Structure 1
Amino acid sequence: MVNRSDVHYWGAGPAPLPTAVLEKASQVLLNYKDKGIGLCEISHRSPDANEILAHAKQTLTYLLEIPDDYEILFLQSGGSGEFSATVYNLVAIWVEKKRAKIAEEVGDDKGEVLRRLRTVVDEELKLDYLVTGSWSLKASQEAARLVGAKHVNVAVDARKAGDGKFVDIPSEDKWTLTPRTSGGGPALVYFCDNETVDGVEFPAFPHSLEGDDAPLVCADMSSNFISRKVDVRKYAVIFGGAQKNIGNTGIAIVIIRKSLLPPAVTYASADLLRELNLPVGPIVLDYPTIAKNNSLYNTLPIFDVWIAGQVMAGLVNTYGAKRIGGQEDISNEKARIIYETLDKYPNVYRVVPGNAVRSRMNICFRVHGGDADKEKAFLAGAEKKGLLGLKGHRSVGGIRASNYNAVSLEGAKTLVSYLEDYANSA
């Protein structure tokens, strides 16, 4: 029989969870707080459920030092659902701002307002996407599906500089962002902070997205959530699926500026959006509705929120005042020793992304230039050492070590030892 302690799991998601959290979960699934029923059986509108939600928010707020003027939402959309949600919600804000400005100029003539607004939407509506990997590409494609390709500005497509592959992030002077003006700019700028498939991570927040006139920046952090410090104030929306660093599959987490929620801002009505041939999003992806109902508009999987809260509470207990900086140090150290070992044997291993954008979370490399048989043998040898989940994504192949928080430093050292042994015997 193989025990959990015998293996180190490097899968990209669903990903490993702390054993202590799973042990506690096995208890609360059967009997939560000695109530005689399990956590999956309690009402999502009960005081216990609200307590679980509040605890998860509190721990995430502490870890990332989330300012008071931000709200945390829990949804069942996954990261892919948020590709759509950000478009629905932020386009509705952009349209309403344009409508209000036109109404100031022409008064109560609703027909004239609509006529001018149609022209503005047709000529000015843009959503900027930084396409640096497989997930940002999917996000841009979803935006084009919802609002039309003419409204989507791919400000950078990293494949053009990488011989058709996602291996680098072009310098910002090569980006073609929609110009910011006093009266306009893009409805949003989207980027994926860490590309799970391709192993590309932004080393820092883009300089060109900063400033007093900064656009509404939406960042997908699904695979590097709570792995490093984040200046939340730079973002309008941060989102991510929980199933990599935070919890099990089932929920997405959104951190959003309260200034983007009513009553601070007004969204274009569904009727107006239909008049403009723009999409109206489903109610379960409507940020104002989710915020108003404390993430409980529909039946939220409270067990999944509980898992996330327990994982984050474990980090709080471990690192205390260092907050997420403590985990960042460990994440960096694990990535450092793995990359150093790969670089030590260039005749055996080749890291896929460029040096400056190597992901700390998803370490993608090829063995013997991508020789299929040798990579298969490498994976088989790794499994014998208890190193599981190292096969690369089906779309790109190769090897991928997903270095998430639940992978211990000991696990990283075990992988390093195997990399050394394999290289010396190759």
Structure 2
Amino acid sequence: MAKRAVNFGAGPSALPDSVLQEATQGLLDFQGTGIGIAEISHRSKEFTAFVANLESLIRTQLDVPPTHQILFTQGGGTGQFSAVVLNMLARHRLLHPNLTDDERVMDYIITGSWSKKAAAEARRLGGGKVNVAAQSTHSIPSHESFKFSPDPALIYYCENETVDGVQFSHDPSSPASFPFHLLPQDTLLPIVADYSSSFMSRKIPRLADHAVIFAGAQKNIGPAGLTIVIVRQDCLVDVDAAAKLGAVPVPISMSFQTLADSDSLYNTPSTLPIYIAGLVLERSRELGGVQYFEELNRKKADKVYSVLKEGEQKGVFRGKVKEGHGSWMNITFDVLGDGAEAKFLTGAEAKGMKALKGHRSVGGIRASLYNAITEEQTDGLVTYMREFIAANTQ
């Protein structure tokens, strides 16, 4: 096999070589059936057992409590921008049938491009009004700035902003942490979190307090086409009953209750992405699970942020995010000087490092350090950045 590039892309992102090699065998013969994974019936006993094992791998490694169900669906994180609104509004309608749409509130915390898009979708769908509970650019909002509604249908945040490189800290003492302490402590909270670009990279703080956690697979887990949703049992509601009370009808394939009742097999799922995700998470388990990757990802991020700071001091680089608020997964920065960014990218490509160009909406550089990026590959990027600093310092 020809030497593979180091893929620092934000998604679809790098996958472990060993997993890809194993998956090629499964394309021809899935678990000795003589039928490839892309061909086999999703109702077969072999595939249904594989889905059950995938759920177990997630539940065990993330310590998902029995109060929450793990669902597999399609549509990516963007599909969940719609699904969570419709399902959580249906739940709220059943709890509070007499409220008008203007009295029904959804709280959104805006920290970057994806949470902004999620809020825009909530406004588009209607059924309730959007309250921006906190908002900031290039940082997590200060705890003092949060203004939560008294009884919202949902409280939405994006744990890691892939485009902008901003991430909530998982250290509760950090000013960049999610302010759970500002919320009521004696009730089931309607917290919804987009974990698409950090899922399985480290532990999820107060997972049990979340109503819904979702993640597109194409960052740390597998190929595009699979979405993982962790839903608390009280959010599996009768959406048709809610619609009779005036809630926006929920498409059947977006209903959390439908997915749960059918063990995520209501319709044909993304069999190949599910298969590769299972292989990735088996490998994760063998390496030590989320704890292993948390330690590894901390080291990788520290190394890149350290050389970024060196570049800032020399006037070569400029970070885009407030210190202490930066993502472990997506590190964003600018290369200063006319033509310097193109020069940086060309030099990286020559060394086999690809997909470092920032998102088209913000430009600059973005190094995505997902689980499949090794410490050795990260060290290669750090070495190149240090060489670039030396070559471009007067």
Do they superpose with TM above 0.5? yes
Q: Which amino acid aligns with 2:3?
A: N
| 1:93-112 to 2 correspondences below 5 Å | 93-99=91-97
Displacement of 1:34 after TM fit? 3.0
Pick from 210, 225, 241: which aligns with 1:235? 210
Deviation at 1:306, TM superposition (A): 1.2
2:244 is the counterpart of 1:272: yes
State the aligned residue count. Answer: 381
How far apart are 1:123 and its partner, in Å? 4.1
1-structure distance, mates of 2:360, 2:118: 19
Gaps of 5+ in 1: 100-116, 159-165, 180-184
Change (3 A) 1:385 1:209: farther
* Pick aligned residue for 2:179 from 185, 189, 206: 206
Name the structure 1 match of 2:162: 196
8 Å Cα contact 1:52-1:302 kept in structure 2: no
Q: Does 1:144 align with 2:123?
A: yes
Output aligned runs, 1:347-426, within 5 Å.
347-368=315-336, 371=337, 373-426=339-392
Given that residues 131 and 191 in structure 1 are in contact (C-alpha distance below 8 angstroms), is that contact kept between their aligned partners in structure 2? yes
Alignment partner, residue 105 of structure 1:
none
Structure (1 or 2) with the greater helix fraction: 1
Opposite residue 165 of structure 2, the aligned amino acid is: G
User: Which residue type is aligned with residue 349 of structure 1?
Assistant: F
CA distance in structure 1 between the aligned counterparts of 2:2 and 2:351, rounded to whole angstroms = 12
Question: What is the identity, as a one-letter code, of the residue corresponding to 1:225?
Answer: F
1:91 aligns with 2:70: no
Kindly tell me: are residues 418 and 210 of structure 1, through their superposed partners in 2, closer, same or farther at Cα, counting changes over 3 Å?
Answer: farther
Instruction: State whether residues 201 and 358 of structure 1, in contact with CA within 8 Å, keep that contact through their aligned partners in structure 2.
Output: yes
Q: Distance in 1 between matches of 2:145 and 2:351?
A: 45
Say yes or no: does 1:168 pair with 2:139: yes
State the partner residue of 2:280.
Answer: 311
Alignment-mate amino acid for residue 246 of structure 1: I
Runs (4+) of structure 1 exceeding 6 A deviation are none
Q: Matched residue of 1:240: which SS? A: strand
Q: Residue 268 of structure 1: CA displacement?
A: 5.8
Q: How does 1:287-298 map to 2 (within 5 A)?
A: 287-298=256-267
The 1:375–1:351 alpha-carbon spacing in structure 2 relative to 1, beyond 3 Å, is same
Q: Unpaired segments of 5 or more residues in structure 2? A: 171-177
One-letter identity of the residue aligned with 1:221: Y
Matched, 1:3 2:3: yes
TM-score (structure 2 length as normaliser): 0.93
**Counterpart contact for 2:239–2:255, Cα < 8 Å:** no
* TM-score (norm. length: structure 1): 0.87
- CA deviation map 1:58-94 (0-9, x unaligned): 1111110111121100001210000111011010010
Residues of 2 paired with 1:175 and 1:372: CA distance? 40
Distance change (3 Å), C-alpha of 1:270 and 1:261 = closer
**Largest Rg, 1 or 2:** 1
Which of residues 213, 223, 242 in structure 1 aligns to 2:197? 223
Where 2:71 maps in the other structure, the secondary structure is strand
Aligned mate of 2:107, from 106, 128, 150: 128
Aligned mate of 1:255, from 221, 225, 230:
230
Q: Please give the root-mean-square deviation of Cα atoms over the aligned residues, in Å.
A: 1.5
